[in-house]
Structure 1
Amino acid sequence: MKISVIGCGYLGAVHAVAMVELGHHVVGIDVDAAKIAQLTEGRPPFFEPGLPEILSSALATGRLRFSTDIAEVAGSRVHFVAVGTPQRDGSNAADMTYVDSAIDALLPHLAPGDIVVGKSTVPVGSATRLAGVLEASGTGAVLAWNPEFLREGFAVLDTMSPDRLVYGVASGDDTAVVALNEVYATAIAAGTPVVVTDYATAELVKVAANAFLATKISFINAMAEIAEVTGADVTQLADAIGYDSRIGRRFLNAGVGFGGGCLPKDIRAFTARAEELGRGESVAFLKEVDQINLRRRQRVVDLTVDALGSVVNEKKVAVLGLAFKPHSDDVRDSPALDVAVKLRGLGANVIATDPQAIENSRARHPQISYSADIAETLRDADAVVLVTEWPEFAGIDPVWAAGLVRNRTIIDGRNKLDAAAWRAAGWTYLGLGRP
């Protein structure tokens, strides 16, 4: 099948390349000429494990090309819209500017029978509105909504082998279902379940999933707050309740909280949309979910300040981690970077390291010192703060690290370290929600 992908950011680039791997012919379109040049040369503009390899493989087939010219979508049967929906300036609501612009740009190049497929995370009701735009255009193209469920660090796997496929289509629109089944034939043949539903449900599936995940993370972080004043151990608490099959252990990891370009802005946008619909009370709890999450960042800062005897100025603090999660270079709304910035603002001499996110962090916050070398980062530190659970950090030998620092104090913002091993090596170990 001939496919176009509008928007070659994180979502679009991965989707375009994966579609070629699944056997299709793909053109990726973006207004950013520099990004298109990088992709054409086989260099992803962001870090994602496995993407460089399949990008090179896809380009070698001759079935993948990238362009800034929207006219090159002509001849494609399915057009995926994969542009961003950032948080609107001065509001929690999602900014639909890029989605609307992509649809408008597509209209002159659509033909009868074409399928326009939304991948972007949008406020519920957007698909119905956009379907009306397509219908009014007289192009004969129809709209489907196919939300993405990518996890950064696993995006290639999640695109090639999704755990579910959701199609939001107009009532009785079999043509979109048939086309999408052809797009995802490999995954469907491998047993991936398909949910065919209406536009509103398809839109809600993505934001509801993100809201549930954020709530689960903030719940265990709320329990960590209680554990800290009672002497309980939140990791053992999570283990115990995680054995309940109705709850499960995954994502019950207390720590500095969630971040990234999706979860925080998506729950805020969901809340804003619910308020627009007159049902703000239905998701009012998400505001507290957001607040709990932000409090955990401040808690790490407070623990660090206390560990330094409340004298922060000119103290060297080694920050391990900058990306919002391991196996990513994404620092959007990153708890790790936020902690580093807050400590620097208090006067600490912050030096931070990360396997992939240093340059993205430096571009946003040049006032922080950075090093790609863990030993250099640790040397003469008055306190060490672990805030992104990269394997390189979780696997640090506490005896080796003890020989580098000035003061053996570590704040484990992810509860990933062996507290007993670090204490045995002479460290003052401070976790979140742990005695």
Structure 2
Amino acid sequence: MIPQKVLQKVKDEVQESCHHRLIKACMQDILETQSRHSKINKQTTPSKSARQTTRLTPTKVHSSSAKEDAFFLFLELHERGISVDLSILCSVMSTCADPAAINTGVQLHTLLVKIGCDLSIPIGSSLISLYAKCGKLDEAYQVFQMLPTRNTISWTAIIAGFAQNGRVETCLYLFVLMRRSMTKPNDFTIASLLAVCTSSACLGIGRSFHGLEIKMGFDMYVHISNALISMYAKCGSIADAQYVFDEISRRDLISWNSMIFGYSQYGLAEQALNLLNEMIKENVKPDAISFLGVLSSCRHVGLVEEGRRCFSLMLDCDVKPDLDHYSCIVDLLGRAGLLNEALDLIARMPIPPNAVIWGSLLSSARVHGNVWVGIRAAESRLFLEPGCAATYVQLANLYASAGPGIRSRM
């Protein structure tokens, strides 16, 4: 028999060899990417002496391409054997907080383990956010459990991670553990808990957190009030949402938009229109989201003239309509039977209409029995989505409702 010590030694050597191969492969992939980036930016790369004498601070990476710059800066410093600042490590990990970049994030985590980087609160919190935003909740919780010490930031990171994935019961459990650990939650903790109540429509729990944030003095935080407006509106308590909105002393654009969408969700078009007008009177410039909420409410209620005025006001405010805005106004005109006007609007669109717009026009044409507009809409939608069976069904129903007289002339 082979001695146990020999077996253990062989096992350790194999594990170490596999670990080294993994690290080598990971670094090779990352450095190849860095090499391609260096060739592209060769003209703008600072000299060697400048790179070595310049101190790296957080402000160095807060540019328009801050995340990308931090990533390649970290690779270059690691290749040169230069230790990096903690803020750069956190910025690098934030670049990987996307499902498309999860492999790079795992490689960076592996590299941090390899170089013996301590799992401090900033590093651990960044790793928790990285895995949570990529849907890897088990890995995020494992990192959280490995933290030697935990503070408000780390607790908030793990709660926010589960909140982003709609895990309301887990969020509540973690919050109870946080309170038992005598760690005081901050405004971001409360905002994350309100967000998960919004996505899960937990009105009772949301009310409890509303009372808690008042008790803790967070009622003056605008982003907390905005989260409360969204929570109450989503849960069907529009009166409470209105109360919170009225109590905000200094509203921002998100406050107005949250209340407008709350009205839009329940078909309160007149209130949404009044809020838009009040917004303009208070010199708050509406954005594309503001107008989308008002147009959506007008569409559901059938306020054609108000919808037209809102669309014109949008152009007057130099807000560029996108496909969602055109979809709302086309659907509004189509439901009112103004099919030719809707078709003319589509023809004047500065951007190509999508299948949703043509499908909306086709549905309106079927309701109002306009075969010719229906055919045009069906052909255009089938050009964009050739395999859409619903288009053929709607077109067949249009022919059936048109009667034999129309079919005989086709």
TM-score (norm 2): 0.29
Greater fraction strand: 1
Greater fraction helix: 2
Structure having greater relative contact order (Cα 8 Å, sep ≥ 6): 1
* Structure whose alpha-carbon radius of gyration is higher: 2
